[in-house]
Structure 1
Amino acid sequence: MPAVSRAQARTFRSQKAAYRLVTLASGLEQPWSIAFLPDGRLLITERPGRLRVFANGKLEPQPLAGVPEVRARGQGGLLDVCLHPAFARNGTLYLSLAAPVAGGALTRVVRARWGEGGLADVTPIFDATPPGSGGNHFGSRIAFDRAGLMYVTCGERYQMQRAQRLDDLGGKIVRLRDDGSVPPDNPFVGRRDARPEIFTYGHRNPQGLAMHPDTGRLWSVEHGPRGGDELNLLKTGANYGWPLATQGIDYSGAKISDHKSLPGMEDPVRAWVPSISPCGLVIYSGSAFPAWRGSFFIGGLSASSLFRVEIDGERYVSEERLLADMFDIRDVRQGPDGMLYLISRSDNGTLYRVEPA
Structure 2
Amino acid sequence: MSGNPDFDTYRLSEDHEAIREAVRAVAADKIAPWAAAVDEEARYPQEAHDALVASDFFAPHVPEQYGGVGADALATCIVIEEVARADASASLIPAVNKLGSMPVILGGTEELKTRYLTPLAAGETTFSYGLSEREAGSDTASMKCRAVRDGDDWVLNGQKAWITNAGVSRYYTVLAVTDPDGPRGNNVTAFVVEKDDPGFSFGEKERKLGIKGSPTRELIFERTRIPGDRVVGEVGAGLKLALATLDHTRVTIGAQAVGIAQGAIDHALSYVKERRQFGTAIAEFQGVQFMLADMAMELEAARQLVYVAAAKSERGDPDLPFFGAAAKCYASDVAMKVTTDAVQLLGGAGYTRDFPLERMMRDAKITQIYEGTNQVQRIVMARQLLKG
* TM-score class, shorter: under 0.3
Greater percentage in strand: 1
TM superposition score normalised by structure 1: 0.27
- Which structure is higher in RCO with an 8 Å CA cutoff and minimum separation 6? 2
| Larger Rg, first or second structure (1 or 2) | 2
Greater percentage in helix: 2
